Amino acid sequence: MSFIVVLTLRILIYRLNLDLGKNITINNVLSSLQRKTPWEKYKELENFIPCLSEVQKNYIPSKEPFATQNHKHDQMLQ
């Protein structure tokens, strides 16, 4: 991993620890990506991500669940 990536991750982790009051380490962050950078993980999965035209072609509004912003009202509708 390049020096810049490691330095950026360390800065982000430091800020997360300050914000959350937790002890997050670089290994916690990288373990979810199988020790790859976010860009490396994206490039690995890039072929599985559908393009916008494919998503629009397969979108069927009637199959989408309707949800209101009010959780209690949404529960009453179901």
Q: Report which of residues 45 and 77 the model is more confident about.
A: 45
pLDDT for residue 41: 81
Residue 25: the pLDDT is 62
pLDDT at 76: 79
- Which residue segment(s) compose the domain that 34 sits in? 3-77
Secondary structure class of 9 (helix, strand, coil): helix
Number of folded domains in the chain? Answer: 1
Kindly state the tokens that stand for 15. 């800020």
Q: Phi/psi class of residue 36: alpha, beta or left (left: φ > 0; alpha: ψ in -120 to 50)?
A: beta
pLDDT in tens, 11-52: 676 666 555 566 666 566 666 677 777 788 888 888 888 888
Mean pLDDT of 48-57: 87
Q: How far apart are CA 16 and CA 43, in angstroms?
A: 26
